[in-house]
Amino acid sequence: MPEMSVARNELEHERRYVAGLYQRLDELRAEKQRQLDQVRRTTSSGSHQNRSERDAFATMYEDRLAQLNAVDDRLVFGRLDLDSGEERYIGRIGLSTEDLQQLMVDWRAPEAGTFYQATAFERMGVRRRRHLILSRRDVVAVEDDVLDASMLTDADSLQGEGALLAALNSRRTGQMSDIVGTIQSEQDRIIRAPLPGVVVVQGGPGTGKTAVALHRAAYLLYTHRDRLKSAGVLLVGPTNAFMKYIERVLPSLGETGVVMASIGSLMPGIQTVQEPSEEVAALKGRLDMAGVVKQAVANRQRIPAENRKLNVEGSILTLTPRQVRRARDRARATGKPHNEARTTFVKIMLRELTEQLTEQLEESSGAGNTADRSYLTEDVRTSRDVRIALNLAWMPMTPEKLLRDLFAKPAQLEAAAPHLSDAERQLLHRTEDAPWTEADVPLLDEAAELLGELDASAGRNAAEKEQERRRDIANAERTLENVSATLEDAGVDGVLSAEALADHNVVTETRLTAAERASGDRTWAYGHVVVDEAQELSPMQWRLLMRKCPLKSFTIVGDIAQTSSIAGSHSWQQALEPFVGERWQLEELTVNYRTPAQIAEAAVRMANAAGLVVSAPKAVRDGRWDPVIDRVPDLEPALLAALPEELEAIADGLLAVIAPARIIDQVRAAVTSVYGSRVGQGAGGPGQDIVVTTPREVKGLEFDGVVVLEPAEMLKQEAVRVGDLYVAMTRPTQRLRLISTGEIPEGIED
């Protein structure tokens, strides 16, 4: 009874303190909302500086309000009892009273590091580490790690299942949860590693690689705020399903400014699909494709084979190959991208053609004729023949147009890639209306880098631009007449020119955050890039990412053993050496927190038997079930018969049915015919407790139970696909079942 009384008292104590933290959180929310409302009520009058300041304050209040709203669930998760007698609460953000008395320390702050790093052997001044387990805003349990031996007999030290095991045994929801309250020492060391350089985090299934990557992004933004706030952090994942799965983690950690993108969405304005052919994906991912794109751009700067006659207002001019070559070489010498260098090319050609026309007219009218010839430049510029000739020689080009032509027109591809075999060029051939794929994105980005911006007004001459400017000023003058009359009636003298008003009407982006601006800007240079499932990236995709961060500040997480793409890497050295040489540091996670020991061991045995060397991180727990193996004559009836048993075993959990891409549609149709709207894709959605998906789509995801169909089909050594089956087998947190109409891969059965 005394022990129960102590536990009850401690729980009530923590509930009162946590209630105070939430009260302070609500006060700060209300304060920021009032400040934001006040700024929004401010009119747009005043100087440009005043308007910019107003927008900056609005953005600041909006960001802070978003942060305060995102951390509501499980705001606080720990308490440190220190040798000094201080009780230090650890939570998602820092909180203080109005008079700056600290209520809670941000988990990323240096003084919070001991919550994750202190042990009984190295206490670091910590007597007791207390885990507060919350459900929404309510403290439902308290667990203590006693580090000071003298406290072991204290009646107020509370024990239980343990925060880590409780988190591991909890049901999956289809959304990744943060691990901020249960970060382990080896994970914390990587999360808090210095910013500069390339850190590679190698870890087997279930070691928390993705969680480490996300928490590191939040930590770096907190610790290096001044450096990263304006440049931003980019987090890249393998698929859209994966990005949806992790999207809530960073806001819950107090960060809303990270740009999150799948590798296929890194070209603004381009929608992509998965590359249907792995051979094509591997070919497009080769580093020599950068040279193919470069040559394709150079081939659009053409020299005519012979002289060309041009009609300019009745006068016939001659355009020679020598003239075009000279202008082309001078334009290339500027070092500017194709579309920008074209301006130099056009200026040179127009000047030479104008001189030619002037000479003709002077010869025909006599040397003594001093008539004004300044109009001739405009005659040459607007001549249809001249415009056609210059465009044929140096056409302005978009990346999309360049690649569509390259892959749809065999002659252009042969000219740009003579080193490719006929079979390889045939693999790249496609129709002009084919959708863009993920493998195209690095090529589009390469083309965009070489082409430069395409000026939307390039087709308009100076006179047209000036005419548009005059229309803007005329509209502004009419507006000012009305405004001036109103000001005079009010007795106010307003001084504003029509030109200034016309300029003011240009839309500005002052209220966009760095992350919002970066997400729509292909050329944005980030301060740090985090890459998850990095083993899948092709050399061209690495080239794209390296361009995104000129400082080469990267956190790279993955598992070489899980590589399933034939375009992916077989070693980190192979992936990184072309871009950073030896300037990278390897860290390894050694503990499997997700996968029960029986399942993890079966997956390792299978991989080893297939000739794949994998790290075998130690599982922290045994599961209730060994892997279940079904050999069946007919797949669909066996699957439908097994599903009720699997759903019952993981009651209220999330079940994944993982099948080879060849049969995924028919499997999904069969399961949906029985379970209807409960069936989803990716990580599932609201009301969906079954997902039917492929090995590629489950990278980085986790489920309570997994049913793997036709495991032998996922194991294709000739295509380096051991990773597919290895990935599929290591997704469950509780239970694994394999159903096969053929052989069971060697090693799975002990």
Binding-site entries: 203-210
Distance, CA of 517 to CA of 510 (rounded, Å): 10
Residues belonging to the binding site for ATP are 203-210
Distance, CA of 729 to CA of 595 (rounded, Å): 9
In the chain, what are the helix, strand and coil shares in percent, each to the nearest 5?
A: 50, 15, 35
- φ and ψ of 253, to 5 deg: -95, 5
Q: Is 129 helix (H, G, I), strand (E, B) or coil?
A: strand
CB 176 within 8 Å of CB 245: yes
Q: Is 697 helix (H, G, I), strand (E, B) or coil?
A: helix
Distance, CA of 52 to CA of 65 (rounded, Å): 20
Element (H, E) at 598: helix 597-609
How would you class 191 by CB atoms within 10 Å of its CB: exposed for 0-12, middle for 13-18, buried for 19 or more? buried
Q: Look-up: residue for tokens 């860290």? A: 587
DSSP letter string over 539-590?
HHHHHHHHHH-TT--EEEEE-GGG---TTS-S-HHHHHHHHHTT-EEEEEE-
- φ and ψ of 113, to 5 deg: -60, -30
Contacts of 38 (CB under 8 A, 6+ apart): none
DSSP letter string over 324-366?
HHHHHHHHHTT---HHHHHHHHHHHHHHHHHHHHHHHHHHHH-
Distance, CA of 162 to CA of 144 (rounded, Å): 8
Which of 207, 236, 232 is CA-nearest to residue 220?
A: 232
Contacts of 206 (CB under 8 A, 6+ apart): 592, 593, 594, 595, 600, 617, 619, 702, 730
Distance, CA of 263 to CA of 261 (rounded, Å): 6
Cα-based distances in Å from 614 to 58, 537, 556, 583, 723: 51, 19, 18, 24, 10
Distance, CA of 80 to CA of 65 (rounded, Å): 28
Distance, CA of 168 to CA of 438 (rounded, Å): 34
Rounded to an integer, what is the distance from CA 494 to the centroid of its chain? 48
